[in-house]
Each structure stands twice: as structure tokens, then as C-alpha cells.
Structure 1
Amino acid sequence: MPSPTKKTKKTGIPFRTAGIGAVAACLALALTGCAGGDPTAPSAVRAAPASTGQAVRFGTVDCREVRCVALTFDAGPSENSARLLDILKERQVPATFFLLGANHIERYPRLVRRMADEGHEVASHTWDHKILTKLTPREIHEELERPNREIQRLTGRRPTLMRPPQGRTDSTVHEICRELGLAEVLWTVTAKDYTTEDSALIRRRVLEQTERDGIILLHDIYAGTVPAVPGIIDALKERGYVFVTVPQLLAPGRAQAGEVYR
């Protein structure tokens, strides 16, 4: 999602105060599988014919045997991301970052490198947070390919995952993702942190929804989110959950380009 201070090109209205109800409705659609296609669950990927799992710096686990969850953060990097990375490093927790290009990757290239260097999965959230289902195929291609190029330039690794803005996708988006080698990743848990700066509320929402194989959606661009993260991590660890990146959640299977996962 866009920066809190950035204005959308389509409306000129700051994201934080514009269309909250519409955004919530779109998120609800994505969570019910109405965002275009039937998403595949991590357990189904793990049950597929085995392939070599992807290790991360924090160590490898077998999510067929332990209760895994994936922390994911959309729309960064931002001025809050350095503190978030400090928290994740202190607690030895890997995350998956779905990054925006305009005003984010452009503004914080060192943080993009740091995410990769510290073992996190760096993925795409498009260049400018345009709703992909409203674009032409050529525009979709550019929205997806431009952040790929920048992330590869900064980290040496081309993204294999993307998250469509507001979870909105369709068959055209699937096909272009397939061409670009990208799998689409939705979520199962949302704190709706774009509606509140109350860190305690964000924490409570996450804890109420999280189950095994949960993919947790947060945004480090909002003031209340990063302060909620230590409590989320500590509480879920107490419940016996192990934090992994999205690729590790799927291992020994792998996400396939053009497919949707949740």
C-alpha cells in the first residue's frame, strides 16, 4: 500500500484517509478467494513432489513437522524499516518484504540491501501501487518488471514473489506474472493497520486470527505497526509457532510462476 503521505495518482487523495471502506472490502474479497483464481494453501504445496527447500540465515525448519507462520510486510521500505529490521534481527525472525518502487525502493536502497543481506525474502508489491486489474497488459508488465529490475540491481537476486495491491488479481495478471517468473502471494491474517495507530489493537487482531501456516499482512509504513511487532513475535512464539519466510513456508515445494498462494 502507498506511503501515508503519498497521494494516489488516480484520486489525488491521501491513502490513509481515502476510501477506507472500499479498501476493507477489497481485502475481504481477497481473503475469501474472490480476487481472481483459487489460491493454493501452503500445505498443498508442501505435499507436492519434493524439491530442495530454500534455507535462510536463521536456520531451516520443516513446516510439515512444526507450526510455521510467515510475517510479511507491504509497501516499504520506509523510515520505520530500520527499526523493524533491528527487531527482527534481535529476535532471529525472518520476514518477507513486498516492496514498492516509487518513493520507497528509490528512497531507501540501503534498506533493500540490508533486508536481503540479513536473510529476509525481498519481493515486489509493484512500482506505484496501481490496481493491476484496472491496467492494460502493457501497464501491468511495467508495474511488475520495474521493481524486479531495481531489486535485482540492489540485491543481486531477482524476485520470484509478488503481492498485488489490495489483493486484486485476475487471469491477465496471472499470465503476465507467469511470463515474468512471479508467483502471487496473498494473506490469511490482516491487522488492518492502515485504519489505526493503536499498536495494542494491531497486536490483538493478529493474535486473534493467526493459525498454522498463517501469512500475516502488516505494513511498516504506518506508525503503529512496528511497535506492535515485538509483542506479536513473543506471543506467537509462546504458542509454539516458528517464523519463516514465504518460500520456507512452502518448502520442500516451491511457488510456481503465475499461481496464487494463500
Structure 2
Amino acid sequence: STVPTYDHCAQAGHFALTFDDGPFQYSWDLAKYLHSRGIKATFFTNGNNWVENFKTATTSTSDGIKSYIDVLKYYHELGHEIGSHTYEHKVLKGLSTTEVEYQMNQQSDLIYEAIGQRPRLMRPPEGELDNAASIVLNDLGYSSVLWDIDSKDYELKGLAYSQNLVRAVVDADSTGGHISLQHDVHEASAVELTPWMVDYITSKNYTFVTVSECLG
């Protein structure tokens, strides 16, 4: 059968912040900021996307130089959830079974090396799946997580542009459970949009949850 797929939270009043494509140089301090606000988010991670040589690469943070394995460990220590966004950010639609398995298993191994747990949640790159890939994901034991709020932060059109997109969805349904999409590889999204999101969504009396909590 095909992979279970979700795009919003099961419970009214729940909001899941999700971040794709990292970790990258902004991710440590983003995780730290969210923790300082009492928020657990979900990071859909790649191992070979914005960062090459993941296991040896380092980044500067407010806590000094850290490896990207350290960043994954830090997410876990702070209670953030780590999902898979495939190893190389490969669109799974059209790939062979072997290729889909490679993309998922490589990333699962990387996450396991960092935190001693394997991801059960995945987000398909570009949100694209076909039936064949969906069956493989189900066989591997994943759930597929999409979103109902797209900040379009990757278009790099500025803060107001993303704010309007987020407001449009939340103002139309200000009690339903939402999953938002951001990308922690973009500095403006990590350091400008996220604090605004936290304040705005908090003002709507939402409770921030991880995706696992969001799905109930």
C-alpha cells in the first residue's frame, strides 16, 4: 500500500513549525532560539545538499565551532524532532525502488549515527511522490509529511511576502491545526521570519508541537 500522507495537525489549536534542507550554518542558533521560546520544531534534514562532506564539515555558532553531526545531536537534546528529507534532496518521483531506498537509508543511517534513533517521518523533496515511490516509503515504515502553510521563504522576496502568505491561511482558519514550511538554509527565514512566526502564531493562541505530536 501507499505511504500515509499528512498536511495538517489532527487537533485544533496545534501548530507544527517545520524546516527543510538543513542543517546549515543558521540551524544551531535557530534550534537554540526556538528552545529559548519553549518551542519544539521539526527539521526535515538532508545529508548531502547544502553541506558537502557532512561528517567532517563544521559551522560557526554562538556556542563555537560545531560539526553538522553536533547540530543533529543538538536538535535531539533540545527536544526538536528530526525527519528525513532524503540524503541528497532527490525528487523521488520517477526513481527506481533501489534509488528511493538509497536516498532514504543513507539519511536514516546518518541520523542514527547522530542520535541513535531512525526517522519515521519524511518529507518528499518538492512535495513530489509517485505511486511507486510511495509504496517503497510505506514498506520502509515512513509517514510522509507535507504542509498547509507555505512561507515561500525560498523565493527570497522578503519578510512581508512570507508574512502575507502565512496570515492568509491562518486568518482563514485560525483554530485548525497547521503545518508550516520554512527552510533553515536561508538566513532571513531563520533569523527574521521565525521570530515573527513565533510571535504571530502565539498571538493566535496556538500550541507549538512537533510533527509527531501534531499527527496525534
**Which stretch shows the higher mean deviation, 126-135 or 207-216?**
207-216
Partners in 2 of 1:182 and 1:97 — Cα distance?
Answer: 15
Is 1:189 the counterpart of 2:149 in the alignment? yes
1:245 aligns with 210
Q: Verify: 1:203 aligned to 2:163, yes or no.
A: yes
**Corresponding residue for residue 221 of structure 1:** 185
After TM superposition, which residue ranges in structure 1, 4 or more long, deviate above 6 angstroms? none
Structure 2 residue 31 is matched with structure 1 residue 85 = yes
- Does the 8 A contact of 1:200 with 1:228 survive in 2? no
Displacement after TM superposition at 1:115 (Å): 0.4
Q: 1:133: which partner in 2?
A: 93
* Separation of aligned partners in 2, 1:131 and 1:179: 18
Contact 1:120 1:245 in 2 (8 A): yes
Structure 1 residue runs without a partner (length 5+):
1-35, 47-62, 252-262
Q: How does 1:90-101 map to 2 (within 5 A)?
A: 90-101=36-47
Which secondary structure does the structure 2 equivalent of 1:224 belong to?
helix
Indicate the residue corresponding to 1:260 in structure 2: none
SS in structure 2 at match of 1:101: coil
- Provide the secondary structure at the position in 2 that maps to 1:236: helix
The amino acid of 1:176's aligned partner reads V
Give the structure-1-normalised TM-score: 0.70
Moved more, 89-98 or 106-115: 106-115
Give the alignment's Cα RMSD to 1 decimal: 2.0
Match of 1:74 among 2, 16, 20: 20
Cα 1:122–1:38 change in 2 (3 A) is: closer
Once the two structures are TM-superposed, the CA of residue 172 in structure 1 deviates from its matched residue by 1.2
CA distance in 2, matches of 1:87, 1:234: 13
Aligned to 1:117: 77
- Cα gap change, 1:85 to 1:101, in 2 (>3 Å): same
Task: Using the TM superposition, give the Cα deviation of residue 222 of structure 1 relative to its aligned residue in structure 2, in angstroms.
Answer: 1.0
Q: Select between 173-182 and 69-78 the one with higher mean Cα deviation.
A: 173-182
Change in 2 beyond 3 A, CA 1:214/1:136: same
TM-score by length of 2: 0.84
Contact 1:37 1:170 in 2 (8 A): no
> In structure 2, what is the Cα distance between the partners aligned to 1:196 and 1:190?
13
Unaligned 5+ runs, structure 2: 58-67
Report Cα offsets for 1:175-211 as digits up to 9, x if no partner: 1112211111111110111111513332332232234
The DSSP-based 3-state class of the residue aligned with 1:71 is strand
Percent identity at matched positions?
31
The structure richer in strand per residue is 2
Give the letter aligned to residue 100 of structure 1. N
Q: Give the letter aligned to residue 215 of structure 1.
A: I
Give the paired residue count: 196
* Higher RCO (C-alpha 8 Å, min separation 6): 2
Letter of the structure 2 residue corresponding to residue 228 of structure 1: L
Deviation at 1:41, TM superposition (A): 5.8
Q: 1:237 & 1:218 partners in 2: Cα distance?
A: 17
